[in-house]
Structure 1
């Protein structure tokens, strides 16, 4: 391992891989270090499906969406691998919000349509609806595993060095143009000096950087499930469903519900951000039985195309800021990307480009994503408290 590098990236999940790709294809020297083996399931970037949902109102997110919508297709073409399958995506549950989003999306270049209950159920036979539905045809599913592998391969082809099973054990800022990073591998421990450091370490961000003037990042262990399909004829788009938290659906409501078809595995369904707070180094990998029963009750009521008795749970981590907005900021010789869980994957290539530009000094930080932003509504914890989740 060279002891000097222009850009060193810590964290080889989706965000770090996209940043490495952007920098390497721009002709820069890049070293990407990942603490785990290729294809590991310890973080938030594994699995074969993530929703591409364009239903955002803030201009900062819409700009990222517009860019990501182009880049996913570009990267797929470069890798000769389909990464985003456009199945369409529906949002339902809060009609006023959906109608507002319909207007906003038209101005951002994303086509959408409002469907009646009957129209939606005729089109998407695997689901049931109780309200008008917002349908976004450009939505769909991203293959997370394939995306990470493709971006790392393309980055390596552009000259980036990517090294797995190289945990970082210490970071020291020497000055504004040099950071010392202590790395452990099979031969022992050594120090790498980088002109600029980019941290995309997900749930491990605070453990690597300490507080470092960062907002709080809440790490949870989430357990969505894959329900078996009753019939291959049932039609499913990706979906997001906002439920009244006081509603009785046969069991408590633990948050917004998201879902999508995962080919070969069934229909993935999960509560958004309802898992136990955890230390990523000591995850229990233990489902919350009450929440699993809640997903079964949800499926019985709203997903007639699945068998709610046949399912397999999966595990991943979330890492969220209080206000559920990302951290995309540069602090001296360190650029930080964090707080993506639950809604970050759709933006991956655009965020990689954004972090690369921050590190190069070719763009500034937007207030919404600033590590020092002053207004941080505690949405994440307040939503959990309202639902009785500790």
Structure 2
């Protein structure tokens, strides 16, 4: 059998791409190296932040499409995927974080509420530096991550798609018909889409002679106990971010949602790792940094984490994605480098990659996501 498309990688981006292709009548197979479901990559877990509050206006534009696409998936599958609790972005003047978000939201007329340091303390019991301020994006909230990936895969199967899990791709033979080989078989398709997550670098350089600068880093997620029951529950407190002008000083957090009474807070950065040995060395420094953050800014939260978990980011130097064709074989499409913020955009990423595979005209300027942009930039 020759498929119209094969998608390799069944994380949220690959699953969204396969779903979009099948929905557009493409005979599609989705291949995953691990047995499904799994927690080895970047798409597992119960929750992800979603928001329109971005500093880059092209992501704001993409999120305007992402929200209705998530709603469409909810309707198709009868599954609740989104909890709207708002998203609170906070930053210091020196970081320009809030100014850039406001400019980007203003460009697309997205409603938001500007909040001063005093308002943030009064309304949310957050102590911030004197030059800090915030923006509340009321449309933001929480996506149910595991449930969203399952919904994409289940709907893909209902649309006639095929899933082959626990099959590692060992060889690619490019051409007008692309062939991939695993230990269990050989498959061929007219188009190949690669959404390889943290394994993209080693795989692409080995099999397709594609190299671009990125690193895989381990993120340590900490859960902190609220002092007053219900104060930070999802019906009273938003998801949030905070950024200072100091390098590598960026935090994200979610209200008490996954575990009763526990806020989810994490530093946006971590040590570089081999994804095959993610938990070989614990990152105690990330825990200590998050503890200091909570102690300084959240007086109503106990500063010692009671639960910790880890995940992987695949970071590019500019923290933008790679959404492009292979430089030599235009029927091989690459989606990579989602830099810790790609989950919420998966329905749009899936459409973009699917349209590249089907050679449809794309509605976005993909210049920020091209592979060749790194040729003019310093590497990590």
In the superposition, the TM-score normalised over structure 2's length comes to 0.89
For residues 263 and 374 of structure 1, do their structure 2 counterparts lie closer, same or farther at Cα, with a shift above 3 Å needed? closer
**Equivalent pairs, count:** 363
- Separation of aligned partners in 2, 1:118 and 1:376: 43
Deviations 1:26-48 (A, max 9, x none): 11101001111222111000111
* Aligned residue among 290, 300, 303 for 2:298: 303
Give distance in 2, aligned partners of 1:341 and 1:308: 27
Residue 182, structure 1, aligned to residue 181, structure 2: yes
Structure 1 segment 64-75 matched on structure 2, within 5 A? 64-75=62-73
Q: CA RMSD in A?
A: 2.0
Checking the alignment, whether the CA contact within 8 Å between 1:171 and 1:208 is kept in structure 2 is: no
SS in structure 2 of the partner of residue 318 of structure 1? strand
Equivalent residue, structure 2, for 1:227: 224
Tell me: CA distance 1:100–1:321, structure 2 relative to 1, closer, same or farther (3 Å): closer
The Cα of 1:166 is off from its aligned counterpart by 1.5
Distance 1:73 1:216 in 2: 34
Give the structure-1-normalised TM-score: 0.87
Q: Which residue of 2 aligns with 1:372?
A: 372
Q: 2:91 aligns with which of 90, 93, 101?
A: 93
Q: Is the 8 A contact 2:57 2:105 kept in 1?
A: no
CA distance in 2, matches of 1:286, 1:306: 28
Task: Pick from 324, 328, 332 the counterpart of residue 329 of structure 1.
Answer: 324
1:284/1:104 CA distance change after superposition, 3 Å: closer
How far off its partner does 1:374 sit? 5.0
1:361: Cα distance to partner? Answer: 0.5
Tell me how far 1:57 sits from its aligned partner: 4.1
Unaligned segments of structure 2, at least 5 residues: none
Q: CA deviation at 1:72?
A: 1.4
SS in 1 for 2:255: strand
Deviation, 1:77, is 1.9
Tell whether the 8 Å contact from 1:221 to 1:283 is kept in structure 2 after alignment.
yes
User: Offset at 1:152?
Assistant: 0.6
- What is aligned with 2:172? 171
Conservation of the 8 A alpha-carbon contact between 2:128 and 2:297: yes
Q: 1:80 to 1:124 in 2, by over 3 A?
A: farther
Structure 1 residue 292: deviation in Å?
0.8
Which ranges of structure 1 fall in alignment gaps of 5 or more residues? 247-253, 382-390
Separation in structure 2 between the aligned mates of residue 93 and residue 160 of structure 1, nearest angstrom: 44
Q: Does 1:205 align with 2:203?
A: no
Name the structure 1 match of 2:33: 35
In structure 2, the CA distance between the partners of 1:66 and 1:281, relative to structure 1 (3 Å rule), is same
Equivalent-residue separation in structure 2 for 1:324 and 1:279 (angstroms)? 19
- Which one of the candidate residues 268, 275, 280 is aligned to 1:272? 268
Q: Is the 8 A contact 1:214 1:372 kept in 2?
A: no
The residue aligned with 1:83 is 81
Q: Is the 8 A contact 1:213 1:371 kept in 2?
A: no
Spell out, residue by residue over 1:5-24, the C-alpha distance to the aligned partner (whole angstroms, 9 max, x if none): 11100000000010011111
CA apart distance, 1:226: 1.5
